[in-house]
A = this chain, B = another copy of it.
Amino acid sequence: MERRNTPTKQAVLELLVKSGKAMSREAIEKEITQNINRATIYRVLNRFCEDDVLHRIVAEDGKQYFAVCVNCYDKVLSGHHFHFRCVKCDTIECLPIAVEFSISNSYQVDNVNCVLSGTCKDCSV
């Protein structure tokens, strides 16, 4: 199952890099110039997650959002971090705030999903 380079993949990744935020399939489909099928967008996003190019956030609206995994300038974002979902502008941003907890090692933690929600700084006028 080798990966191939396609215009679709490039466009989706470019958009996510440019936006700098986590986007839903809906938002991607709305903002992208190309005409890409709904199922294809999901498949592209899922493959990127498998390859650790993107990470997936599930918000309290039950929807999936996807963001590029940055790990250069900000160490905290390479690990588990909080996310903030603004219910007004419906965007999710990766916060540079690490998620910290200590739990008995009888639990095996495979995944961490932390989302704060409310009104973001741009919308809270």
Interface residues of A (CB under 8 A from B): 56, 58-64, 82, 84, 87, 95, 97, 99-104, 106-121, 124
Contact = CB atoms under 8 A, between A and B. Distances in A.
Tell me how many chains of this kind the complex includes: 2
A111 B102 contact: no
Given A58-B60, A84-B107, A113-B114, 20 more contacts: A56-B60, A58-B58, A58-B59, A58-B62, A62-B62, A62-B64, A84-B103, A84-B109, A95-B103, A97-B101, A97-B103, A107-B116, A107-B120, A107-B121, A108-B118, A108-B119, A111-B118, A113-B113, A113-B115, A113-B116
Contacts of A108: 118-119, 124
Given A58-B58, A101-B82, A117 B109 contact: yes
A60 B63 CA distance: 9
Contacts of A87: 110
Contacts of A106: 121, 124
